Structure 1
Amino acid sequence: MSEQTPPRFIGRLSLETEIGTFSDKRIRLLEMIDEYGSINQAAKAVPLSYKAAWDAIDAMNNMAAQPLVVRVSGGRQGGGTQLTEHGRRLIAMYRALEIEYQAALDLLTERLAHIQAGDIQEFQSLMRKISLRTSARNQFSGVVIGLRDGGVDYEVDLRIDDESEIVAIITKESAENLQLGIGKEVVALVKSSSVILNAEPGLALTARNQLWGEVADIHRGSVNDEITLRLPSGRSVTAVVSHESCLNMELAVGKRACAAFKASSVILAVYG
């Protein structure tokens, strides 16, 4: 019987630089632009939407000391996009680091050769679980500091930082399934559509959770606006409110506001 090939760890490099975070998808976008000379064809090859591709390029160009991508006009094709030498150097650096990163993981696999293959596969499965993605825009990691049994439901108090706490109401069955206890680390998920904004300090609200911060970003829409508040701890809360409400509250970057949401709007999850 031939010896079974041991599992291999495959790395996905994320490069933090002074001009932002570079992932494989952004690097591939730059590579495809260099190959096709067209943002439309490059976006399809990645794949990304045309808007997402341009948003990524604008973000990178805005932060870079020199442009990574430039528009080219004229010619029989009516112009297009072109990667600069600065962009090519960035790609080369990323791919070189990626090779070294994977080599380090391969070396780690060799050193773990004495470990049962099943243990490594179990570890890989665990990594997939804790990398779970969710549609909830607001995600807070916290520790349970209070539990109150209401008979049918449980009230769970979480501390998410030195200054902020969150209250969640979940069913008793859910609390038991999550095996909640004082000191347990959990993740609190809140949809941005469940967050209400308030800019008046004296206004009474029924929502149990009220997190005050400063407006850090406003993304305007034709009907709704997306507002991100920066909390004193550096964490952020995002809400989606009507464009009219945003104007009525005179929200602007730097203005103090409160993100409020009901305890019943908080979904709790635990690490596998």
Structure 2
Amino acid sequence: MNATRFFARMSLDTEVGTALSDTRIRLLEQIEREGSINRAAKAVPLSYKAAWDAIDTMNNLAPEPLVKRVAGGRQGGGTQLTDYGRRIVAMYRALEIEYQAALDRLTERLKEVNGGDVQSFQKLMHRMSMKASARNQFSGTVTGLRLGGIDYEVRIALDAQTEITAIITRASAENLGLAIGREVFALVKSSSVMLVADRSVKLTARNQLWGEVSAIHEGPVNSEVTLALPSGRSVTAVVTADGCEALGLRPGSPACAIFKASSVILAICE
């Protein structure tokens, strides 16, 4: 058997999914070093958009934000880690050392087993890894369950300030083993999110999250608009360029992200 070694590219999982990876930790370390998301992204390297997407995801999944925007930085503003973010980076690196040592012991043990094929095992682990394509990924706790015929209305608290509602089939609720207090993962495609800027507009959609436009990534037809929610989480929508202009969306302007309860996909990790 060819000499093969596992290398520690650790990811940290919560009850509702993967929250941290080596790339994200390196991004956090560069933010701490540079004080700028642009310079940090180049150092990793990541695109500016990919870096902000990663930050939004981490802040959404964590109990409290890891990264915050600050005013009055070296160039009029910047980005920095919170104390919680610094603790998470330190913990990750400490665990990574132990993780690598464990992998080295595992490699040696596999070599001792008849037919132990480290490379085949690596391929299996790679195939079992998966990521969700939904742009908006939240973790939360089930706070309400109401049966309505064949459907369940599920209320999920993302934090003390933010709650969303999902509608799933009774069979899905039973399959997931949903119960009050259970940690769940909520996924919402950015194409399912609509935006409004007028507080007087009345809509039937159950989920209406007011925030402030934090970023707009413009495309030739559609733009990707990210709202920063008061809790530090964020939600992203895909809006036509004309729609963006008609709503007068600009960084710093208030807007509401709206999506149907039926657009929320729930998942759990066992």
**TM-score (normalised: structure 1):** 0.61
Query: Which amino acid in 2 is paired with 1:164?
Result: T
Specify which structure has the bigger relative contact order, considering alpha-carbon pairs within 8 angstroms and separated by 6 or more residues.
2
Q: CA deviation at 1:111?
A: 7.6
Distance 1:256 1:55 in 2: 21
Matching residue of 1:26: 45
The residue aligned with 2:153 is: 155
CA contact (8 A) 2:8 2:103 kept: no
Equivalent residue for 1:195? 193
Is the 2:30–2:44 contact (alpha carbons within 8 Å) kept by the matching residues of 1? Answer: no
Counterpart residue type for residue 106 of structure 1: Q
Q: What is the SS of the residue equivalent to 1:177?
A: helix
Q: Spell out, residue by residue over 1:50-86, the C-alpha distance to the aligned partner (whole angstroms, 9 max, x if none).
A: xx6x988xxxxxxxx9xxxxxxxxxxxxxxxxxxxxx
Matched, 1:237 2:231: no
Compared CA separation, residues 107 and 253, structure 1 to 2 (3 A): same
Determine if contact 2:212/2:253 at 8 Å carries over to the other structure.
Answer: yes
Residue type at the aligned position of 1:154:
Y
**Does the Cα contact within 8 Å between 1:166 and 1:209 map onto a contact in 2?**
yes
Contact kept? 1:11, 1:101, Cα under 8 Å:
no
Structure 2 counterparts to residues 58-69 of structure 1, below 5 A: none
Q: Which residue of 2 aligns with 1:45?
A: none
- Name the Cα RMSD after superposition: 3.9
Change (3 A) 1:243 1:189: same
Matched, 1:105 2:99: yes
Decide which moves more: 196-205 or 14-23.
Answer: 14-23
TM-superposed CA distance for 1:223, in Å, is 1.2
Deviation at residue 9 of structure 1 after TM alignment: 5.9
Q: Is the 8 A contact 1:210 1:261 kept in 2?
A: yes
The alpha carbon displacement at 1:127 in A equals 11
Task: From the superposition, tell whether residues 110 and 248 of structure 1 become closer, same or farther in structure 2 (CA, over 3 Å).
Answer: closer
Query: What is the letter of the counterpart of residue 267 of structure 1?
Result: I
- In the superposition, the TM-score normalised over structure 2's length comes to 0.61
**What fraction of aligned residue pairs are identical, expressed as a percent?**
51
Aligned length: 198
Offset at 1:184?
Answer: 0.5
Q: Is contact 1:213–1:231 with CA below 8 Å preserved after alignment?
A: yes
Q: 1:247 to 1:268 in 2, by over 3 A?
A: same
In the alignment, the residues of structure 2 paired with residue 146 and residue 55 of structure 1 have an alpha-carbon distance, to the nearest angstrom, of 35
Match of 2:30 in 1: 17
Residue 246 of structure 1, aligned match among 224, 239, 244: 244
Q: Which amino acid aligns with 1:105?
A: Y
The DSSP-based 3-state class of the residue aligned with 1:204 is coil
Partner of 2:251: helix, strand, or coil? Answer: coil
Q: Which of 131, 147, 156 is residue 133 of structure 1 equivalent to?
A: 131
Q: Secondary structure at the match of 2:243?
A: helix
- Hey, what does 1:96 align to over in structure 2? none
Residue 132 (structure 1) shift: 3.6
The answer for the alignment partner of 1:217 in structure 2 is 215
Q: Is this contact kept in 1: 2:6–2:104, CA < 8 A?
A: no
Residue 170 (structure 2) pairs with residue 172 (structure 1): yes
Q: Which residue type is aligned with residue 227 of structure 2? A: L
Per-residue CA deviation, residues 90-143 of structure 1 (Å, 9 max, x unaligned), is xxxxxxxxxx99764332457889x999xxxxxxx99997x6411100011000
Structure showing greater Rg: 1
Cα separation, 1, equivalents of 2:239 and 2:146: 32
2:132 aligns to what SS in structure 1?
A: coil
